[in-house]
């Protein structure tokens, strides 16, 4: 089964074509990393896949249903982590995840379970403003997963994490994927993509440059290097926005 | 309650309410700050009666000592009398401001010595003493008085200070917290991308907006209860018959000022900017709408300006039903005007609304 099927996806902002006739297919249960320099169009691509933005051209179907217009039947099946700051002000970690659970009509027990899975039981009564960057990141991932979605979008989930937190999060993400969920994440960490992802989609200037397994990409482009060498070979070394 | 907390609407409402009550600054400006004004105005202006006038009588003053009973009562509430035999010492006290007037009687003439620095007290002293002399003259003539005089205070039927200020300050408090709350929530949620996140959750925009509106109305009704309760319990506020019509006024007024806050939140680029802009709309409006002083004494052009301000109509409606003793129908015109404002401003805010900062 196909989790995501995007065809000819295009989005323009004025003169800028953020996403340019992009085709992308993600199989159910697959773990896909979307890589690209800043300004490559990753976020716009994800927003169209999530149903937040209307494509100017092309079409997306997610879990067999059109992603646009906002599809109420689809939303409970998708989990999205946008940014570690997307929280209700002045709520504790526990109140936060219970609120999200209620929004998705998920049981409160699931909220407590997820708090435990991301190691935040000790911080349950801490307000989100007082959590460290890594704790907030883990909480926002737990909030994205509390309703047991089939498909999960994670936007740079390991940004601002220390190595300990990053490795623990890798285990968590691998677990999520092993339990049959489809995971799409964006990242700047090539080692992360190499370790976690079944396939990587390298995006630049709104186009899909490559979409293959890390091993195949390294074999074809790196000339004895790693995924980062592939990435730089494909997207160049100039500074980006 | 637990079931309510597990519905999307209930969970959102509780989350928003918690965010508000844990925000000490918001709580302060919504409740404590306006109450401070109320207590301050009440204390400063409630005792508009002049304090007693300090009078020193020098030697015998038969005219004052033999006042008829009713005049004596009035005399004693107006003057605080001290007796002295030393005219020069008494005059020195007036000069130094320790006493207001020195009175002596020379034969049949009552002489009052006062300074011009206390003009009001001097005028009261003069007219009061002159009235006693006139009264004594009539009594001495043996003729019955032909003309009578009766004084009736109008304050009781119009408005005392606390009666006037409570509805106006309450209107300002409600307007401020509704507008600032809406502006800050919209901008804050947009900045943190919570708005986007909620858009991705299976809840309708109506549920999100409805929860925010419900919490704001609950807060406004709480402000009203605290204001009227404290006013009645400690500041001598007397509510009139159809005070309960203030409830629909508060509800519709809240919607109106939430819309103004949403407009500010839609225009502004940051949370601080949105809050400042909401304040920029509301605070001058409060001055021009009679929240802080009666509009009756202002120039006519200012009163015309105030007619186009929603807060003026909220204040007038609140005054009418809370303290002026008008019937429930007095609130209908203000309610209609506020509702119209709410609809127009909401439509405008909705046109300018964006889900995210981009």
Check whether B127 has a pLDDT greater than 80.
yes
Which pLDDT belongs to residue A6? Answer: 93
* B214: contact with A, CB 8 A cutoff: no
Q: Does residue B334 or residue A226 have the better pLDDT?
A: B334
Q: Among A78, A90, A108, whose Cβ lies nearest the Cβ of B22? A: A90
Distance from first CA to last CA of chain B, Å, rounded? Answer: 38
Q: What is the mean pLDDT of chain B?
A: 85
**Residues of B in Cβ contact (< 8 Å) with A50:** 200
Nearest-neighbour CA in chain A from B14: distance (Å): 9
Nearest-neighbour CA in chain B from A229: distance (Å): 32
Q: Do the chains contact at B203 and A103, CB–CB below 8 Å?
A: yes
* B197: contact with A, CB 8 A cutoff: yes
Which pLDDT belongs to residue B152? Answer: 58
Q: Where are the domains of chain A?
A: 2-235
Q: How far is CA A140 from the centre of its chain?
A: 12
Which pLDDT belongs to residue A80? Answer: 92
CB pairs under 8 A between A and B: 77
Q: How far apart are CA A173 and CA A128, in angstroms?
A: 22
Segment B225-281, tens digit of pLDDT: 998 998 888 888 888 888 999 999 999 999 999 999 999 988 888 888 888 999 899
Q: Which CATH class is domain B53-141?
A: alpha beta
- Residue A80 near residue A44, CB atoms below 8 Å: no
Average pLDDT of the segment spanning A110-126: 94
Q: Where are the domains of chain B?
A: 2-45+160-352, 53-141
* B12: contact with A, CB 8 A cutoff: yes
Average pLDDT of the segment spanning A191-214: 91
What's the pLDDT band for B1 if we cut at 50, 70, 90?
Answer: low
Segment B129-169, tens digit of pLDDT: 888 888 888 888 877 777 777 665 554 444 677 888 889 99
Q: Do the chains contact at B11 and A86, CB–CB below 8 Å?
A: no
Segment A30-78, tens digit of pLDDT: 999 999 888 888 989 999 999 888 999 999 999 999 988 877 889 999 9
A2-235: in CATH 3.90.1150.10: no
Segment B17-51, tens digit of pLDDT: 999 999 988 888 888 888 888 888 877 765 555 56
**In 10 A of CB B198, how many CB atoms?**
20
- Residue B93 near residue B86, CB atoms below 8 Å: no
User: What percent of chain B has a predicted confidence (pLDDT) above 90?
Assistant: 30
Q: Do the chains contact at A103 and B19, CB–CB below 8 Å?
A: no
**Residues of B in Cβ contact (< 8 Å) with A48:** none
Q: Does residue B97 or residue B92 have the better pLDDT?
A: B92
Q: How far apart are CA B166 and CA B98, in angstroms?
A: 36
């Amino acid at each position: 089964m196909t989790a995501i099927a995007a065809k000819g996806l295009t989005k323009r902002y004025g003169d800028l074509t953020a996403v340019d006739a992009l085709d992308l297919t993600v199989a159910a249960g697959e773990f896909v990393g979307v890589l690209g320099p800043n300004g490559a169009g990753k976020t716009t691509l994800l927003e169209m896949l999530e149903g937040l933005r209307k494509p100017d051209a092309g079409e997306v179907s997610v879990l067999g249903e059109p992603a646009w217009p906002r599809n109420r039947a689809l939303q409970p099946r998708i989990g999205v982590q946008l940014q570690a700051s997307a929280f209700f002000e002045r709520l504790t970690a526990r109140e936060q995840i219970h609120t999200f659970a209620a929004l998705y009509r998920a049981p409160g027990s699931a909220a407590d379970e997820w708090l435990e899975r991301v190691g935040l039981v000790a911080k349950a009564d801490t307000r989100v403003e007082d959590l460290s960057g890594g704790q907030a990141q883990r909480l926002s991932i737990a909030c994205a997963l509390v309703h047991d979605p089939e498909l999960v979008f994670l936007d740079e989930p390991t940004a601002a994490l220390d190595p300990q937190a990053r490795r623990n999060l890798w285990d968590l993400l691998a677990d999520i994927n092993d339990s049959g969920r489809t995971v799409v994440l964006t990242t700047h960490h090539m080692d992360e993509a190499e370790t976690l992802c079944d396939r990587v989609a390298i995006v630049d200037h709104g186009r899909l440059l490559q979409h293959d397994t890390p091993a195949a990409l390294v074999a074809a482009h790196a000339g004895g290097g790693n995924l980062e060498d592939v990435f730089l070979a494909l997207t160049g070394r100039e500074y980006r926005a | 309650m637990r079931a309510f907390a597990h519905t999307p609407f209930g969970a959102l409402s509780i989350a928003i309410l918690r965010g508000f009550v844990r925000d000490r600054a918001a709580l302060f400006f919504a409740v404590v700050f306006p109450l401070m004004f109320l207590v301050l105005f009440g204390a400063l202006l409630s005792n508009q009666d002049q304090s007693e006038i300090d009078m020193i009588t020098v030697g015998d003053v038969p005219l004052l000592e033999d006042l008829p009973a009713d005049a004596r009562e009035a005399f004693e509430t107006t003057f605080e009398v001290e007796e002295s035999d030393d005219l020069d010492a008494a005059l020195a006290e007036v000069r130094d401001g320790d006493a207001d007037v020195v009175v002596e009687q020379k034969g049949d003439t009552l002489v009052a010595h006062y300074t011009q620095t206390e003009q009001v007290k001097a005028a009261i002293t003069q007219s009061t003493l002159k009235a006693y002399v006139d009264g004594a003259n009539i009594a001495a003539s043996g003729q019955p008085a032909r003309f009578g005089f009766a004084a009736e205070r109008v304050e009781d039927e119009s408005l005392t200070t606390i009666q006037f200020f409570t509805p106006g300050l309450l209107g300002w408090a409600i307007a401020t917290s509704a507008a600032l709350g809406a502006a800050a929530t919209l901008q804050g949620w947009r900045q943190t991308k919570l708005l986007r996140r909620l858009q991705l959750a299976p809840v309708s925009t109506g549920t999100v907006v409805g929860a925010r509106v419900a919490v704001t109305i609950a807060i406004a009704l709480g402000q009203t209860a605290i204001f009227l309760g404290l006013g009645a319990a400690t500041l001598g506020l007397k509510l009139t018959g159809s005070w309960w019509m203030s409830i629909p006024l508060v509800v519709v007024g809240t919607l109106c000022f939430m819309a103004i806050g949403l407009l500010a939140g839609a225009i502004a680029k940051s949370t601080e900017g949105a809050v400042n802009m909401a304040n920029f709309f509301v605070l001058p409006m409060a001055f021009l709408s009679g929240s802080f002083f009666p509009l009756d004494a202002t120039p006519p052009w200012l009163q015309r300006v105030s007619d186009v301000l929603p807060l003026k109509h909220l204040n007038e409606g609140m005054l009418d039903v809370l303290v002026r003793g008008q019937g429930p129908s007095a609130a209908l015109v203000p309610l209609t005007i506020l509702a119209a404002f709410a609809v127009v401003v909401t439509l405008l805010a909705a046109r300018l609304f964006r889900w995210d900062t981009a």
